[in-house]
Structure 1
Amino acid sequence: MIVGYARTSTLDQVAGIEAQERDLTAAGCEKIFREQVSSVDVAQRDQLALALDFLRDGDTLVVTKLDRLARSVAHMHELLQRITAKGAALKILNMGIDTNTPTGKLMLNVLGGVAEFEREIMLERQREGIAKAKQAGKYKGRVPTAQRKAAEVNALRAEGLGATEIARRLGISRASVYNVSQG
């Protein structure tokens, strides 16, 4: 069976998830697992777990792009081990890679390494840009939401409300309530 997996990073990327589903259907996927959750989010990607559990011997898991599946080269290798342990293969449409072949396995490893390298270079440039902007006084960072609501937090505390209720009313976390209260 050909099984598809589609993922976007946010809920508002409707066109992205629809395009992936269209491409997966065109590739012959009989079942598609989809979710809209960040790859770097600590939250579990439930649909990916279900897709991996669903795979059987002889199946192929299809994704449109490698970054829709794996967070890093190490993560890609972990997922590929799980897929091959079930007797299944991985196919990445935009790269033309199919791990049913030795060449496909080699190319996946090489391209995965290049992708991780590119990401590290991009992050390094981003850090350099932020440092330069800070030196020039142009980068202040995000203003902490809870700190802007310190007066409201303290007023509600003075009324005798608990941290959970204050957090709910102000749309901040309980930890932020405690941080503001003690700060």
Structure 2
Amino acid sequence: MSFMPELKCHGRLMGYARVSTPEQKLDLQIDCLNSAGCIRIFKDHGISGAKAKRPGLDDMLAALKRDDMVVVYKLDRLGRSVLHLSDLLVRFQREGIHFSSLSEGINTATPAGQLTFHLFSAVAEFQRQIIAENTAAGLHAARRRGTRLGRPRRLSEKQAIDAAHTITKTGRRREDVAKRLGVSRMTLDRAIRRVGATA
């Protein structure tokens, strides 16, 4: 990148660089971030953007203060998805942190750059609504097919009935029966109520 825009903010310029595989180099990104005036550069080397945990990114987020500016070489270096990127930018705006992407010419410290925050906020909200609608439609379809939703039950219907009979016939304590079945007393009680047995 031959031209580096002059970045100005009241806080610090904090760079972030990432490559997905160990064979890739960070040199280009680091050179550009240094040229832009970053006083500190956080790095994730050989870590895919799809990873939820990125030590370099986590360290940077923990170090940021109001009026700082996060600087990246390209947008896709920061977020692992459009939704993740949108969430980060919304977080930056909420915490008074500016953002710049050198390749795309984004700089939220400028009036025009503020539009970036609003656009990504709208994108994040739109994607969440789509995810919620798709999830609701999937659950509705599963219920119509008779699919049982949620975690699998710890005790089968037969186990619950047998346990209830054991408690009523032998007088064994519920805690002992639950322990023998490898569940808690609360789980046993729920299973017995579910099958309508008495104990």
The TM-score with structure 2 as length reference comes to 0.51
Per the alignment, residue 117 of structure 1 pairs with none
Shift of 1:107: 4.4
- Structure 1 gaps, min length 5: 114-183
Distance 2:88 2:116 in 1: 16
More helix by share: 1
Structure number, greater radius of gyration: 2
**Contact between 2:15 and 2:33, CA under 8 Å: does it hold in 1?**
yes
| % same residue | 40
Q: Which amino acid aligns with 1:90?
A: F
Question: Deviation string for 1:77-125 (max 9, x for gaps)?
Answer: 2101222232111100001111123421324637xx7xxxxxxxxxxxx
Per the alignment, residue 4 of structure 1 pairs with 15
Per the alignment, residue 41 of structure 1 pairs with 51
1:74 has 2:83 as partner: yes
**Contact between 2:68 and 2:98, CA under 8 Å: does it hold in 1?**
yes
Distance 1:89 1:107 in 2: 11
**Contact between 1:52 and 1:83, CA under 8 Å: does it hold in 2?**
no
DSSP 3-state at the match of 1:94: coil
DSSP 3-state at the match of 1:49: helix
**Contact between 1:91 and 1:98, CA under 8 Å: does it hold in 2?**
yes
**Contact between 1:61 and 1:91, CA under 8 Å: does it hold in 2?**
yes
Per the alignment, residue 51 of structure 1 pairs with 60
DSSP 3-state at the match of 1:95: coil
Per the alignment, residue 155 of structure 1 pairs with none
Distance 1:26 1:41 in 2: 28
DSSP 3-state at the match of 2:113: helix
Shift of 1:66: 0.3
- Structure 2 gaps, min length 5: 1-11, 124-199
Distance 1:34 1:7 in 2: 6
Distance 1:10 1:65 in 2: 17
**Contact between 2:14 and 2:70, CA under 8 Å: does it hold in 1?**
yes
The alignment of Structure 1 onto Structure 2 pairs a total of residues equal to: 109
Structure 1 residue ranges, 4+ long, deviating more than 4 angstroms after superposition? none
Distance 1:105 1:73 in 2: 18
**Contact between 1:52 and 1:82, CA under 8 Å: does it hold in 2?**
no
Distance 2:67 2:105 in 1: 19
Shift of 1:58: 1.0
